[in-house]
Amino acid sequence: MRIAITREVSPAIGRCELTHLERQPIDVELARTQHRAYQACLARLGCRVYTLPAEPDLPDSVFVEDTAIVLDELAIVTRPGAESRRPEVAAIAEALRPYRTLYAIHAPGTLDGGDVLRVGRCLFVGLSTRSNAAAIEQMQALLAPQGYTVQGVPVAGCLHLKSAVTEVAPGTLLINRAWVDAAAFAGLELIDVDPAEPYAANALRVGEALIYPAAFPRTRQRLEARGLAVHPIDVSELAKAEGAVTCCSLMVETPE
């Protein structure tokens, strides 16, 4: 069974943290409508959607991906790089506790889940404004006994590693080479985003399908040309908060 942990849109999302985008007004009701459509898409693709209530005092809390790294053997509760986001972690840890043994990132480490790209038994971790080398060292110590490798990857020009690259099929990555060095992913197949769509590299893989922003039709054509099943959804309001489709859920695989 695949569980998708989500959290409702905060009424305070307009006060979200921003790093690379200019602040724009966010229509909270439209953001909620788009988020419900996202949850419905997850359900159609076979996920059991588990929804936490909105957090009025935590503007970014809909972006649950940043609070934890969920692996088959364990979960790592993060220490987000933005101090305002650290109170988001406790509720997610409680939601994960029935399914995984929990570990945590400690100071001086900072880590956002959006900076962690898992490809098989390798975790690529973005060295960004939100995640640092101290967190990577802690991850290496935690995960080496489980047979994982952890590799830091510098990120420039975008918020998180998964703003620049995501896995869209086994061993196949969708990438914006302007924001991350493709040499870090040697041996993997790469699909480039359309040059006119720099923010198009974030796709959420759910089984054999992809949930993908409707705003990037040119890159969508490239994905579909590879035979990938793409399910486009409108996340325009969430994108104003530097959110994307991977950000809004945590996937937990469990026995039936």
Q: What is the amino acid identity at position 64?
A: V
Among 148, 174, 149, residue whose Cα is nearest residue 161: 174
Active-site residue 35, yes or no? no
| Catalytic site residue from 41, 47, 160, 231 | 160
Taking the C-alpha atoms of residue 87 and residue 80, their distance in angstroms, rounded to an integer, is 9
DSSP 98: T
Active-site residue 247, yes or no? yes
What sign for the dihedral angle of Cα 80, 83, 86, 88?
Answer: negative
- Provide the strand spans (E) within the chain: 2-7, 48-52, 68-70, 75-77, 102-104, 116-119, 122-127, 149-154, 165-169, 172-175, 189-192, 204-206, 209-213, 229-233, 250-253
DSSP 194: P
| Catalytic site residue from 41, 158, 247, 248 | 247
Query: How distant, in Å, are the alpha carbons of 19, 131, 179, 183, 195 from that of 22?
Result: 8, 22, 18, 31, 21
Q: Catalytic residue positions?
A: 160, 247
